[in-house]
Amino acid sequence: MKRFALLMAAAVIAGWFAAPAQAFPPFKAAFTERYVDKSNNEGFKAAAKEASCNVCHVKDEKKSVQNEYGHALHEELEKSGEKPKELMKSDKEKLLKLLDEAFTAVEKEKSKGGKTFGELIKSGMLPAGN
């Protein structure tokens, strides 16, 4: 019984000091690598970090609800005929290539505000203005 109590106490203490696990979906990681990490704009970096998944999704909505930038990326990925959710499990390399191509294509598309998503990002704004 003492061993069990000691083991449980050790597990609790180890849990306090363990770093929380964070899993970043390939989409967010690819956006961060392509745009955020390469930016010299600290405001953009902070905004992207705060927005997190809401760079593409609508805050406080189901993850199936996308903002205009997320919708544009979704449409571009659909054109490829590939299934990104399946690629996340089976071929991440192919998914990353597909995302890179989608980012390039979507940079040229105009947002509702009139500027292209690429222009918004280069000016230090999030692509959906959130």
In the predicted structure, residue 34 carries a pLDDT above the cut 70: yes
Identify the band that residue 130 occupies on the pLDDT scale cut at 50, 70 and 90.
low
Question: Rounded to whole angstroms, how far apart are CA atoms 129 and 120?
Answer: 8
Domain contains 55: yes
For 58-80, the pLDDT digits (tens) are 999 888 899 999 999 999 999 98
The boundaries of the domain holding residue 29 are 24-122
Domain contains 64: yes
114: left (phi over 0), alpha (psi -120 to 50) or beta: left
Identify the band that residue 85 occupies on the pLDDT scale cut at 50, 70 and 90.
confident
Domain contains 58: yes
Domain contains 111: yes
Count other Cβ atoms within 10 Å, centred on residue 43: 10
Domain contains 5: no
Q: Domain tally for the chain?
A: 1
In the predicted structure, residue 14 carries a pLDDT above the cut 80: no
- pTM for the model stands at 0.75
Domain contains 12: no
Domain contains 127: no
